[in-house]
Amino acid sequence: MQIFLSSPPINSPPLTSIISFIYAHATFIHTLKNKKKVMPLPVWNPKSNPRDWTHLMPILTPAYPSMNSSYNVGQPQLRRIMDELNEACRILQGISRGECTWANLFQGSDFFKQHCHYLQVCVLACGK
């Protein structure tokens, strides 16, 4: 999935950009860009690789070769992500109608109450 958003007008409020971004993700508006192979590296392409069609939530890397960075997303993870995006979309629509405030969008999450088992991974690296 690649999501392309048109640029909002220059003087539009930030809410306009945020709503279009969240709405596009929440409703899964996808377009695939036809890309030509430059080098003989495998590129994510459901037309040439039927297995790519089975990916639930393809998020393609922007650099060549295009690969699905969310290859391991399954139904439970997709459902959780969609629930959060739909909630954000509901709040943003409320903000645009004046029924909610920005504070509603940035309220703390009850993630740790909803999920008693989770894995936290911390990666530290030294670099030059």
State the pLDDT confidence band at 95, using cuts at 50, 70 and 90.
very high
Residue 61's pLDDT is 77
Q: Average pLDDT for residues 109-119, to the nearest whole number?
A: 80
- Distance, CA of 98 to CA of 80 (rounded, Å): 27
Please determine, for residue 7, whether its predicted confidence score (pLDDT) is greater than 50.
yes
Please determine, for residue 93, whether its predicted confidence score (pLDDT) is greater than 50.
yes
Report the Cα–Cα distance between both ends of the chain, in Å, rounded.
34
Joined together, the tokens standing for residue 89 give 């979309």
- Cα 29 to the chain's mean position, in Å? 11
Dihedrals φ, ψ of 2, to 5°?
A: -120, 135
Residue 4's pLDDT is 46
Q: Report whether 44 contacts 68 (CB < 8 A).
A: yes
Residue 8's pLDDT is 57
Q: Report whether 61 contacts 41 (CB < 8 A).
A: no
List pLDDT tens digits, range 29-82: 343 333 444 456 778 888 888 888 888 888 787 777 778 778 788 888 888 888
pTM listed for this prediction:
0.54
